[in-house]
């Protein structure tokens, strides 16, 4: 089992939303307001995924998807995150490079 990366784009969109950037008040108040919105969005998304899985709606859609159809989606998602993640890795190469190597090793083993 691994962590779900499904919510990353939604979380980033909520966090950098102009609605929260223009928040007047202390930074802690902005943090609390943003985290409450993020938590609510994740709860709704989780309930939606649970309902789809429980009622078997996903089986209808999975018939039309093959691993070949999923490759462009995963590739484009990874390239979109590359813009944010790689500068962070480059700032601290002592941690970033071993992390990338371990990620490659563990992704090939499983």
Domain ranges of the chain: 1-64, 66-110
Contact indicator for 17, 41 with CB cutoff of 8 Å: no
Cβ–Cβ under 8 Å, residues 16 and 47: no
Distance from C-alpha of 12 to C-alpha of 81, rounded to nearest angstrom: 10
Q: What is the pLDDT of residues 32-48, one digit of tens each?
A: 888 898 888 888 888 88
Query: Taking the complete model, does pTM exceed 0.85, yes or no?
Result: no
Indicate the helix (H) or strand (E) that contains 105. helix 93-109
What tens digit of pLDDT does each residue of 39-88 get?
888 888 888 888 988 998 888 888 877 777 777 777 777 777 777 777 87
Alpha-carbon distance of 87 to 85, in angstroms, equals: 6
């Amino acid at each position: 089992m691994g962590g779900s990366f499904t919510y990353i784009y939604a979380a980033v969109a909520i966090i950098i939303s102009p609605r929260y950037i223009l928040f007047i008040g202390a930074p802690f108040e902005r943090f609390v307001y943003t985290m409450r919105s993020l938590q609510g969005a994740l709860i709704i998304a989780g309930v939606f995924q649970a309902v789809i899985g429980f009622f078997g709606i996903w089986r209808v859609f999975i018939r039309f998807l093959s691993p070949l159809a999923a490759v462009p989606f995963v590739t484009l998602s990874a390239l979109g995150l590359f813009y944010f993640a790689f500068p962070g890795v480059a700032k601290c190469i002592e941690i970033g490079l071993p992390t990338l190597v371990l990620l490659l090793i563990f992704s090939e083993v499983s």
